[in-house]
Chain A
Amino acid sequence: MSELSVRHLLGIKYLSRQDLDLIFETADHFKEVLSRSIKKVPSLRDITIANIFFENSTRTKLSFELAEKRLSADVINFSAAQSSVRKGETLIDTVNNILSMKVDMVVMRHPNPGAGIFLSKHVKASIVNAGDGAHEHPTQALLDSYSIREKLGGVGGKKVVIVGDILHSRVALSNIFALQLQGAEVRVCGPKTLIPKYVESLGVRVEPNLRKALEWCDVANMLRIQNERMDMSYFPTTREYTRQFGINKPLLDSLDKDIVIMHPGPINRGVEITSDVADSSQSIILNQVENGVAIRMAVIYLLASKIK
Chain B
Amino acid sequence: MSQKVLLSSKEIHIILHRLACQLLERHLDFSDSVLIGLQPRGTFLARRLLELLETDYKVTGIPFGLLDITFYRDDFRRGDKTLAASSTHIDFLVEGKRVVLIDDVLFTGRSIRAALTALQSFGRPREIELLTLIDRRFSRHLPIQPDYRGRQVDAIGGERVKVCWKENEGEDAVYLISDKA
Contact = CB atoms under 8 A, between A and B. Distances in A.
B81 A42 contact: no
Contacts of B70: 29
Interface stretch (B1-9, B27-35, B82-90, B173-181): B82-90
Interface string B48-90: 0000000000000000000010111100110001111111100
A307 B77 CA distance: 7
A211 interface: no
Contact of B121 (A25, A36, A304, A307): A36
A33 B122 CA distance: 10
A306 B79 CA distance: 10
A37 B85 contact: no
Contacts of A40: 121
Given A2-B81, A302-B82, A305-B82, A41 B71 contact: yes
A308 interface: yes
Nearest to A302: B82
Given A4-B82, A36-B121, A36-B122, A305 B87 contact: no
A33 to B, nearest CB: 7
Interface in B80-105: 81-88, 93
Give the size range of B's interface with the partner: 20 to 34
Given A28-B87, A32-B88, A37 B72 contact: no
Nearest to B84: A2
A41 B72 contact: yes
24 contacts: A2-B83, A3-B81, A3-B82, A25-B85, A26-B85, A29-B86, A29-B87, A29-B88, A32-B87, A32-B88, A37-B123, A38-B120, A38-B122, A39-B121, A41-B71, A42-B71, A42-B117, A43-B71, A43-B72, A43-B76, A44-B76, A302-B82, A305-B76, A306-B82
A239 to B, nearest CB: 50
Contacts of A42: 71-72, 117
Contacts of A33: 71, 88, 121
A37 B93 contact: yes
Contacts of B71: 29, 33, 41-43, 71, 301
Contacts of B86: 29
B83 A305 contact: yes
A43 B84 CA distance: 12
A274 B126 CA distance: 52
Interface in B154-180: none
A251 B41 CA distance: 53
Given A3-B81, A43-B71, 14 more contacts: A2-B83, A25-B85, A28-B87, A29-B71, A29-B87, A37-B121, A37-B122, A38-B122, A40-B121, A41-B71, A41-B121, A42-B72, A43-B76, A304-B77
Which of B70, B72, B76 is most buried by chain A, counting CB atoms within 10 A of its CB? B76
A71 B70 CA distance: 12
Interface string B110-152: 0000000110111100000000000000000000000000000
A32 B71 CA distance: 12
Contacts of B117: 42
Contact of A305 (B77, B118, B120, B121): B77
A4 B82 CA distance: 8
Contact of B85 (A29, A36, A308): A29
A29 B66 CA distance: 13
Contacts of B88: 29, 32-33
A4 B88 CA distance: 22
Nearest to A303: B82
B92 to A, nearest CB: 12
A33 B88 CA distance: 8
